[in-house]
Amino acid sequence: MKTIPLILMGCGGVGSHLLQHIVSSRSLHSSQGLCLRVVGIGDSKSLVVVDDLLNKGFDDSFLLELCRLKHGGESLSKLGDLGQCQVFVHPESEGKILEIASQLGKKTGLAFVDCTASSDTIVVLKQVVDLGCCVVMANKKPLTSTMGDFEKLLTYPRRIRHESTVGAGLPVISSLNRIISSGDPVNRIIGSLSGTLGYVMSEVEDGKPLSQVVRAAKSLGYTEPDPRDDLGGMDVARKALILARILGRRINMDSIQIESLYPKEMGPDVMTDDDFLSCGLLLLDKDIQERVEKAASNGNVLRYVCVIEGPRCEVGIQELPKNSALGRLRGSDNVLEVYTRCYSNQPLVIQGAGAGNDTTAAGVLADIVDIQDLFP
């Protein structure tokens, strides 16, 4: 039986689903000779560490109880009451993580799993990489920080997995890495990597006003609490930057041309989200409607996409053929089209749900299983 000890940072939505997936896949993994041993779990305030670090992981009942507590809005520090663990609070928790990484990194290997959405993990991630740990990320921030941080994290590329940073669990990163390692040159990537903006663009295509579509998307739970977080394009730009860097482009966020669907005058520092939803948005309807009609008159549709081609890395609205994979996209699915030497006339297309805690956590778990050959 091969054992992978894990420390999980972030046990809210994605992290909590990951723990549940680990528990429910226990017998499957066991039949494949694999045991995932969760030895530490952290949130922004605390870290709980299993008592017998070298030999044990948390019980499944403990992990499920933790998910229940976090779901109820409780803090990890409550878990001390359950026994079998020690609780460390910030800032002692950082030191404890490094102590564990240094201890297990050499002896048994350790996978450090980042399911937060925070930049706060970057410092510790770079340190655990130095200590020989593997890193699995759903968190986009560490890979979209400076080029120096990116290269540091990728010092040992085989030890880093981050499928769920782009398109949730969709096999985007793994497929792209396969193409790259086979020497097939990637000429162009174009993708719709935001379920929210995919939904918005396919709805306005049907003639609905942007304001109405965004409000509907918000009430369906498709958007962030402030929809401008989606409409500004920053989340898509982060994914584009990760893809571009995987392709070898040494660029930063400020090299990416980002088209926001709202102007600066409607930004969060100028008007409240309520004002934006009730007034600001209405002023944007006419322009989008005209663009949709102009595209339609060319037999095309509008999609909010990222485009990576040569030195170009852009995020914004593009007019695309109606009968392409992107043009046919409806609803909140993500789509990626990859053009290479092998996929030159017709692209390689990967499509499916690109958001949600369940599928994001599934992508993280597949990454963890995939690094097993690095463990003794």
> Which part of the chain contacts its own copies (CB under 8 A), choosing from 23-31, 118-126, 267-275, 304-312?
23-31
Q: Which of 168, 207, 173, 202 is nearest to 356 (CA)?
A: 168
CB of 81 to its own copies, least distance (A): 30
CA distance linking residue 100 with residue 92, whole number of Å: 13
CB of 361 to its own copies, least distance (A): 8
Q: Which of 70, 96, 239, 322 is catalytic?
A: 239
Q: Which residues are annotated as a binding site?
A: 10-15, 116, 140, 224
CB of 376 to its own copies, least distance (A): 12
On the 0-12 / 13-18 / 19+ scale of CB atoms within 10 A, 164 is buried
Closer to its own copies by CB, 2 or 96: give it.
2
Query: What is the phi-psi region of residue 263: left when phi exceeds 0, alpha when psi lies from -120 to 50, beta otherwise?
Result: beta
Q: Which of 324, 325, 227 is nearest to 272 (CA)?
A: 227
CA distance linking residue 102 with residue 100, whole number of Å: 5
Would you give the binding string for its own copies spanning residues 41-70, x where CB under 8 A is met?
A: ------------------------------
Helices 210-219, 195-205: axis angle to 10 degrees equals 140
Closer to its own copies by CB, 263 or 331: give it.
331
Strand-pair category, 257-258 with 300-309: unpaired
**358 scored as a contact of its own copies (CB under 8 A):** yes
Contacts to its own copies from residues 308-347, by CB under 8 A:
325, 328, 331, 333, 341-343, 346-347
**32 scored as a contact of its own copies (CB under 8 A):** yes
CB of 364 to its own copies, least distance (A): 8
Closer to its own copies by CB, 122 or 190: give it.
190
In 228-298 the beta strands, taken as DSSP E runs, fall at 257-258
Cα 305 to the chain's mean position, in Å?
Answer: 17
- DSSP letter string, 35-61: EEEEEEEE-SSEEEEESSTTT----HH
Closer to its own copies by CB, 211 or 300: give it.
300
CB of 186 to its own copies, least distance (A): 12
Query: What is the phi-psi region of residue 185: left when phi exceeds 0, alpha when psi lies from -120 to 50, beta otherwise?
Result: beta
Closer to its own copies by CB, 32 or 118: give it.
32
Contacts to its own copies from residues 145-164, by CB under 8 A:
157-158, 163
Contacts to its own copies from residues 89-118, by CB under 8 A:
none
Contacts to its own copies from residues 171-210, by CB under 8 A:
171, 174-175, 178-179, 181-184
Q: How many residues bind its own copies (CB under 8 A)?
A: 48
CB of 114 to its own copies, least distance (A): 17
Closer to its own copies by CB, 157 or 268: give it.
157
On whether the CB atoms of residues 128 and 101 are closer than 8 A, the answer is yes
**30 scored as a contact of its own copies (CB under 8 A):** no
> Which part of the chain contacts its own copies (CB under 8 A), choosing from 70-78, 81-89, 211-219, 364-372?
364-372
**132 scored as a contact of its own copies (CB under 8 A):** no
Q: 375: which residues sit within 8 A by CB, 6+ positions away? A: 2, 3, 4, 108, 109
Strand-pair category, 300-309 with 312-321: antiparallel
Closer to its own copies by CB, 10 or 233: give it.
10
70 belongs to the catalytic site: no
Q: Which residues are annotated as a binding site for L-homoserine?
A: 224
Residue whose pair of structure tokens reads 């970057």 in the numeric block: 122
Q: Which of 370, 371, 367 is nearest to 109 (CA)?
A: 371
On whether the CB atoms of residues 164 and 360 are closer than 8 A, the answer is yes
By CB under 8 A, name the binding residues for its own copies.
21, 24-25, 28-29, 32, 157-158, 163, 169-171, 174-175, 178-179, 181-184, 325, 328, 331, 333, 341-343, 346-353, 356, 358-359, 362-363, 365-366, 369-374
Active site residues per annotation: 239
